[in-house]
Amino acid sequence: EVDLCVAADLAEMAKVWLGDITFEHALRSGKVQLTGSRELAQAFPAWLMLSHFAAVPRPERLAVPA
């Protein structure tokens, strides 16, 4: 029996893994869908092992001075 099913666009999950977008953004876009108990769905993002470089700022993520 499946406890949690993850249906995801591979490119969107790669963006999450790299830190380009948040998992919450991927869910809102509809390109990632979780089916199963609410408890497991809420815990799922903590199970992802993001790239060690996900937290490294990249030029396109830096704020532009006003």
How much is the pLDDT for 42?
Answer: 95
Instruction: Identify the helix (H) or strand (E) that includes residue 15.
Output: helix 10-18
Q: Which one, of 3, 2, 14, lies nearest residue 43 by Cα?
A: 3
Reading the block at residue 20, the tokens are: 């380009």
In contact, 60 and 21? CB cutoff 8 Å: no
In three-state secondary structure terms, 37 is coil
Could you read off the pLDDT of 11-59 as tens digits, one per residue? 999 999 998 899 999 999 999 999 999 999 999 999 999 998 888 877 7
